Chains A and B, each alone.
Chain A
Amino acid sequence: MSIKLLNNMKSSRIKWLVGIVIIAIVAIVIFGSGKTSSGTIKVGVIAPLSGQYGSLGESFKNAVILAAGDDKRIQVVFEDDKFDAKTGLSAFQKLTNIDHVDLVINESSPTLGAITPIVNESHIPVIQIFEAKEHNKDSIFQMLPFSYPLFSDLAKLAEQHYNRIALVYNGDSDVFVTDADYFKQGVISSSTIVNQSKLLSSSDFRSEVTKILASSPDAVTIFLPSGDIIKFIKEFSVQKGNMKIDLICDANTELSIGDYVKALGASVFEGCLSTNLPSLTTESFIQTYSKRFNANPLPGADWGYDAMSVVKDLLNTPKDKWIKKIQSESFDGVSGHVSFDENGTRNSISERHVFRDGKFVKI
């Protein structure tokens, strides 16, 4: 074999090697462009840490901290939205533009309404806790199941007990308008709803209560913010006197029932029908939470814990595969089984409740 031939063979091997290296690099570029999570995830958490839902927000924050644990690979940045859409939008913009978080967990419904258009543009995954309006398939995943079954079932339950129902709802917020719409859609007979009152928080409710009572309802269902509920029921009780008109509660009322009972007394709510999600919070979560924070977790805290558990599941998944990974989630969390439907909303069912002797019990 001549030296020339040997040199040709060497050069051909080198060419082959270079070719293989180039192909490998191209393959990595094409198929591996989705960055792995490089071992860390920066999570932005928006919650009402002050204001009328401040206590719920604090409890939610605690649960997120508890779920994150000491895992150094997860960095959490908290922002307070005061349960206000504008403040929530600013918080989201700060988290995405300044803190450059990889994913957002958001608790409040008003904030979700404000950030949805940006989320849909940026495709940043958002794990939402409370519900806003119905959303289609996107990068938003909702831990609280879609509320249509909850409120339409409430209407059916109410219709089984009452023939004439007055509906009162807040016109300032999409959340309450939506809940009222779902309730109306659930009512079978068109003559059941005898009065509809759309109210604004700034006004007193005296004359509205007068008009409602004049329509002679058997029961009144109220979709209002917590402060307005107290104002409304106070005035309603004064003007109603001895008239037999019941209140119909809902999942939101159940959420803040402690505050209402403190302000109005428990007797006002006696016999109040309601629908809510089944309470599936695990005892171990309640105990761990109580031990760490010297208080019981408030509603929504278990969803916060599970939201962070979903995030932890993403640690070893490439970032561009996160949406698919969340879509396929299926595990038993501290708030029950966690899985999402095709629109990214958690699957669940509604449970019927009644207020008896100071608390809501299953019917």
Chain B
Amino acid sequence: MDIIPQLIVNSVIAGAIYAMVALGFNLIYGTTKFFDLGYGAIAAIGGYTVFYFYKGLGLDLYISVLLGILITGAIGTIIYKLVYAPLKARKSSGMVLLIAALGVMTVLQSIVAILFTSQFQTLSRSNGSEAVYNIFGGVITQTQLIILALGVFLMIAIALVFRYTLFGKAIKAVGDDEEVSKIVGINTNKIISWVFFIGSAIAGLAGILVGFDTGIEPTMGLSLLLKGVIASIIGGIGNVYGGVIGAFLLGFIENFGIWKISGEWKDAIAFAVLIIFLLFRPHGILGKK
């Protein structure tokens, strides 16, 4: 059995998941210059929201997914308004914001565990009936194809919004200099609120898709976040396109890295790559020096 086609497919799937996480994370970080740890827990909330509506209440799949995306977007915005915005208004340091974000992540994770228990859950209603496709000798499921397609779609959509809309240009302006943006008349609070909504909604979508692909558990967000952050740093933190490139690169390095060694080294390989980039190219592949 030739292992390489499947390893390539595995790398692409992992890259697509990391890319989606990195997209939302970079959008928030690029605009606010704030390391939002709560982002990981939001991804888990996305998965559990669909679990509640789709498997618990028996609602339609698409309605449940839509509700999941909207609710996670709303939660992200509410957290920004209630926690991060007041701290920013008080000119709190980055460390204070980081600790607040850590608190948000812990609280959200605990609430999910209390409401749904820590037991691993699957999102799909049917067992083992998912369509599987063979691409050049590597197999990929329908969910994994959707993850890939949505990752590419979101990247293109964000790129178009940045390039052709006033809203996108306002986001870039706030990311470049918030104070100057205020002076030129941009409602920075409103823009940042929207950025939190969109970024959190993307996190929620990532959590939902991972939930359909493998399953959900309250702590799932942390490992997703870490991989998204590594991808962002490799690609250039705050750079939306860099995050996507970093995500696929990380996916390939991880999956080919364990080709000849035990799978338990996967995370160690990912973090070793992170350290190498921090030491030798801290601004990442596409980041500004």
Contact = CB atoms under 8 A, between A and B. Distances in A.
Contact of A227 (B127, B217, B262): B217
A82 B217 CA distance: 14
Given A206-B10, A234-B214, A264-B128, A211 B120 contact: no
Contact of B122 (A82, A210, A263): A263
B13 A206 contact: yes
Contact of A267 (B113, B128, B223, B266): B128
Contact of A52 (B7, B120, B139, B262): B120
A12 interface: no
A241 B255 contact: no
Nearest to B226: A202
A268 interface: yes
B167 interface: no
Given A238-B132, A238-B141, A230 B120 contact: yes
Contacts of B113: 50
Contact of B264 (A52, A171, A226, A227): A171
Contacts of B263: 197-200, 203, 205, 207-208, 211
Interface string B121-140: 11000011010100000010
A127 B17 CA distance: 46
B117 interface: yes
A252 to B, nearest CB: 14
Interface string A157-196: 0000000000000010000000000000000000000000
Given A197-B263, A227-B215, A241 B122 contact: no
B132 A241 contact: yes
A210 B3 contact: yes
Contacts of B139: 238-239, 241
A227 B218 CA distance: 12
Interface residues of B, number: 33
B258 interface: yes
Nearest to B255: A207
Interface string B1-27: 101001100100110000000000000
Contacts of B118: 50-52, 54, 82
Contacts of A265: 127-128
B119 interface: yes
A214 interface: yes
Contacts of B267: 200, 202-203
Given A206-B10, A234-B214, A241-B132, A197 B117 contact: no
A241 B141 CA distance: 11
A226 B120 contact: yes
B259 interface: yes
A100 B139 CA distance: 58
Contacts of B262: 197-198
A205 B121 CA distance: 17
Q: In which size bucket is the chain A interface? A: 35 or more
A268 B141 CA distance: 18
Contacts of A213: 1
A208 B128 contact: no
Contacts of B122: 230, 234, 263
Q: Name the residue in A54, A198, A207 with the highest tally of chain B Cβ atoms < 10 Å from its Cβ.
A: A207
A264 B10 CA distance: 21
Interface in A259-284: 259, 263-265, 267-268
A204 interface: yes
Nearest to A225: B120
A267 to B, nearest CB: 7
A238 B259 CA distance: 19
Contacts of A171: 264
A316 interface: no
Given A198-B263, A200-B264, A238-B139, A54 B119 contact: yes
Given A171-B264, A238-B139, A207 B132 contact: no
A237 interface: yes
Contact of B127 (A52, A54, A203, A263): A263
Given A52-B120, A202-B223, A207 B258 contact: yes
Contact of B14 (A206, A239, A267): A206
A34 B46 CA distance: 59
Nearest to A203: B266
A199 B262 CA distance: 8
A206 B255 contact: yes
A156 interface: no
Interface in B236-270: 254-255, 258-259, 262-264, 266-267
A37 interface: no
Nearest to A83: B118
Given A52-B118, A54-B119, A208-B258, A216 B128 contact: no
A213 B6 CA distance: 11
A309 to B, nearest CB: 30
A204 B258 contact: no
Given A198-B263, A198-B264, A216-B1, 4 more contacts: A50-B113, A214-B1, A241-B132, A264-B128
7 contacts: A198-B263, A214-B1, A231-B120, A234-B214, A235-B214, A238-B139, A268-B127
Q: Which 4 A-B pairs have the closest CB atoms?
A: A227-B120, A265-B127, A208-B263, A206-B10
Interface of A: 50-52, 54, 82, 171, 197-200, 202-208, 210-211, 213-214, 216, 226-228, 230-231, 234-235, 237-239, 241, 259, 263-265, 267-268
